[in-house]
Amino acid sequence: MTEGPMMITSVLVANRGEIACRVFRTCRELGIRTVAVHSDADENALHARVADAAVRLPGVTPAETYLRGDLIVKAAMDAGADAVHPGYGFLSENAGFARAVLDAGMVWIGPPPAAIEAMASKTRAKQLMGIEPLGDGEVAEADLPVLVKAAAGGGGRGMRIVRRLADLDAELTAARAEAASAFGDGEVFVEPYVEGGRHVEVQILADTHGTVWALGTRDCSLQRRHQKVIEEAPAPGLPPALLDELHDMAVRAARAVSYVGAGTVEFLVADHPATGPKAHFLEMNTRLQVEHPVTEAVFGIDLVAEQVRVAEGHALEKEPPRARGHAVEARLYAEDPGRDWAPQTGRLHRLAVPGVRLDTGYTDGDHIGVHYDPMIAKVVVHAPTRAEALRRLAGALERAAVHGPVTNRDLLVRSLRHEEFTAGRMDTGFYDRHLPALTAPHADPHAPLAAALADAHAHAHDHARPRSRFGGWRNVPSQPQVKRYAMAGEEHEVHYRHTRQGLTADGVRVVHADARLVVLEVDGVRRKYEVARYGTKVYVNATELTALPRFPEPTDRQEPGSLLAPMPGTVVRVADGLAEGARVEAGQPLLWLEAMKMEHRISAPAAGTLTVLHAVPGQQVEVGTLLAVVQEEIS
């Protein structure tokens, strides 16, 4: 009697955060038990809380925890898991880890180790596709610009654009350090950088019976630091002949390594005056991609469920399902795009984006820490047409409640409505061209008044607060109440009055005011303002404000030329030979901070003398920590 496909009963996800939660969701639907692993920093993280079982990995850095394949295999065995799903990032493209899982007698929910080995190194993958990358010493002035890229892993880590030959050695060093920290492999390579190209990829799914599906295209051109921000399926505006070529190349890459499971083949599509759009092979990611939900939405399938079925030995249908409609995904990050994308940390008080698919590793009250990627959630919509999908996603994000650290939410809304993006004319240089306009301060001018009125109502009805013997109003019409708020980098002073008729404000009719909802009428137009407060932070609809004291307290003055830590993180490097008393040039790199798996360079603000150097490698710093002081040279 022929045995049928095996049945997986318990899955350990060798990952954290959003992707672990997303895999667990499908496992629960399939009736499969779930096991999480967590670092000490993630002890109370959502993925550790929602799994049926969780195993601690001692330490906080990826190198101590999520990159320790031996500890993860032991965790799976101890918890009784019979399969391991790697998610994306960390060890997902590590052939040695895949072999260790298989050698331990468990099912690997991913491609064969040999296929990972062939494609996980981007240099070997290019050679397999007949492309030879440049060697470190082979780059000439004529080759510029070039891209330095990590051979292992992805997500933009270990990647640098080099436009001057003099910068190559420094960028190679930085890329190697970042790649080693993120992936445990410091190998990098150099390839030509194509200006003005679109990042287009093809989702593939293959079984053990020889069937390979090419599940359409995705466009992931909107990127910051080579990491995707907005993705969509299908890629808009590609001619049919190019689509056929992309699908054929993706299937050919999969068959070349006897691929099994879900994977993605990535291309750069650039316009050539003589030949039109042309596809350049970039790499094959031998894992599930962050942006897989848009393909799921368009094809009506669950890729994680298909991964499990393929790992169990089930055969795919000969032809994939038909694509329907258009899907768009936006990555909501805890970062400040207007300050060089600086990652942010702190408590996420509230996260609510109604009416959309929300893939996240956080719930209300969770803490966003410094150790891992700053992505809070993926927001996904599906609609009959691209225009409808863009409109739905922009509207959902605009109305979302995101209370906590600074995020890129406003940038996402503006990007989705930008005429270049809505027309499908975007490329990977989109944010290089448009970032200043997309991050220009903008806030509702009546938000401070709404905050003040809600606060006044809350205080008037707070029985725990000391009450005036004169009640909540003052019979002194010439003396209004005053509150001050910081909003969009500026201070705003609000005047309002308590009267027998209720709260009033000059030029504005107060229709309604309570602690959570304020309705104002200005020039005959009535608008609602939902208000939430957490300490001094106030959120009025999508606008964040900070309540300021009535009489500002004096603050410490920083010495001119002070370099303060722009984010919490770890000092990973100080420039060779740098010491107090050294002369530095404007823009000269002085030290590097690592935060949320990315390196951030701190440079001299002006030419002068380094008079103070507090930073030392390995030092943990908080926002505002004094790192160094450069005394400017006065000419």
- Of the residues 192, 220, 238, which one is the last residue of a structural domain? 192
270 shares a domain with 212? yes
Q: Whose CA is closest to 311, among 84, 105, 141?
A: 84
Instruction: Output the domain CATH number for residue 124.
Output: 3.30.1490.20
Higher-scoring residue by pLDDT: 227, 273: 227
Q: How far is CA 422 from CA 357, 394, 417, in A?
A: 21, 11, 6
Among 343-352, 467-476, 585-594, name the most confident range: 343-352
Q: What is the pLDDT of residue 555?
A: 45
pLDDT band with cut points at 50, 70 and 90 for residue 226? confident
In the numeric block, which tokens belong to residue 558?
Answer: 């920083």
316 shares a domain with 299? yes
Q: What is the pLDDT of residue 477?
A: 53
The SS3 call for residue 233 is strand
Q: What is the pLDDT of residue 551?
A: 59
Confidence check: pLDDT of 20 > 70: yes
421 shares a domain with 326? yes
- The mean per-residue pLDDT over the stretch 212-219 comes to 98
Confidence check: pLDDT of 469 > 60: no
62 shares a domain with 26? yes
Catalytic residue among 22, 224, 287, 497: 287
Q: What is the pLDDT of residue 360?
A: 98
Q: Is residue 557 part of a domain?
A: no
Higher-scoring residue by pLDDT: 101, 621: 101
Please, are residues 306 and 262 in contact by the beta-carbon 8 Å criterion?
Answer: yes
Confidence check: pLDDT of 207 > 80: yes
DSSP-assigned beta bridge partners for residue 13? 36, 85
Percent of the chain with pLDDT over 90: 67
Confidence check: pLDDT of 137 > 90: no
- Range of lowest pLDDT (95-99, 192-196, 559-563): 192-196
Report the b/e string of 3-40 with b at 16+ CB within 10 A: eeeeebebbbbbbbbbbbbbbbebbeeeebbbbbbbbe
Q: What is the pLDDT of residue 166?
A: 84
d(CA 229, CA 418): 14
Q: How many CB atoms lie within 10 A of CB 536?
A: 12
- Output the CA torsion 207→208→211→214 (10° steps): 30
Instruction: Output the domain CATH number for residue 16.
Output: 3.40.50.20
Instruction: Output the domain CATH number for residue 333.
Output: 3.30.470.20
d(CA 199, CA 235): 9
Confidence check: pLDDT of 478 > 60: no
467 shares a domain with 599? no
139 shares a domain with 231? no
Q: Is residue 387 part of a domain?
A: yes
pLDDT band with cut points at 50, 70 and 90 for residue 315? very high
Q: What is the pLDDT of residue 136?
A: 61
Q: What is the pLDDT of residue 276?
A: 78
499 shares a domain with 455? yes
As a whole number of Å, the end-to-end CA separation of the chain is: 90
- The mean per-residue pLDDT over the stretch 248-254 comes to 95
Q: How far is CA 383 from CA 102, 228, 388, in A?
A: 41, 21, 6
pLDDT band with cut points at 50, 70 and 90 for residue 450? very high
- The mean per-residue pLDDT over the stretch 115-132 comes to 79
Q: What is the pLDDT of residue 471?
A: 41
d(CA 55, CA 110): 22
383 shares a domain with 307? yes
In the numeric block, which tokens belong to residue 288?
Answer: 């599930």
Q: What is the pLDDT of residue 134?
A: 64
Higher-scoring residue by pLDDT: 314, 181: 314
- Of the residues 438, 458, 475, which one is the last residue of a structural domain? 438
Q: Is residue 37 part of a domain?
A: yes
- Output the CA torsion 260→19→373→425 (10° steps): 70
Total of domains in the chain: 5
Higher-scoring residue by pLDDT: 284, 142: 284
Q: What is the pLDDT of residue 155?
A: 60
Q: Is residue 115 part of a domain?
A: no
Q: What is the pLDDT of residue 618?
A: 86
Q: Whose CA is closest to 598, among 18, 62, 146, 15?
A: 62
- Of the residues 410, 438, 466, which one is the last residue of a structural domain? 438
384 shares a domain with 312? yes
Confidence check: pLDDT of 171 > 50: yes
Q: Is residue 154 part of a domain?
A: yes
pLDDT band with cut points at 50, 70 and 90 for residue 467? very low
- The mean per-residue pLDDT over the stretch 492-502 comes to 83
Higher-scoring residue by pLDDT: 122, 380: 380
Q: Is residue 114 part of a domain?
A: no
The mean pLDDT of the chain is 89
d(CA 355, CA 382): 11
Confidence check: pLDDT of 184 > 90: no
- The mean per-residue pLDDT over the stretch 110-119 comes to 95
**What residue type is assigned to position 62 of the chain?**
P
Q: What is the pLDDT of residue 550?
A: 67
184 shares a domain with 222? no
Q: In what side-by-side order are the strands of the sheet with 83-85?
A: 53-56, 33-38, 10-13, 83-85, 107-108
- The mean per-residue pLDDT over the stretch 82-92 comes to 96
353 shares a domain with 314? yes
Q: What is the pLDDT of residue 463?
A: 54
Residue 382 structural domain = 198-438
- The mean per-residue pLDDT over the stretch 242-256 comes to 95
Q: In what side-by-side order are the strands of the sheet with 626-632?
A: 562-564, 626-632, 608-613, 583-584
d(CA 73, CA 108): 11
d(CA 475, CA 479): 9
Q: Is residue 553 part of a domain?
A: no
Q: What is the pLDDT of residue 160?
A: 84
Question: What confidence tens digit (pLDDT) does each residue in 26-63 have?
Answer: 999 999 999 999 999 999 999 999 999 999 999 999 99
pLDDT band with cut points at 50, 70 and 90 for residue 512? very high
The SS3 call for residue 594 is strand
Q: Is residue 398 part of a domain?
A: yes
598 shares a domain with 537? no
> Is 287 annotated in the active site?
yes
Confidence check: pLDDT of 289 > 70: yes
d(CA 567, CA 625): 9
- The mean per-residue pLDDT over the stretch 413-424 comes to 98
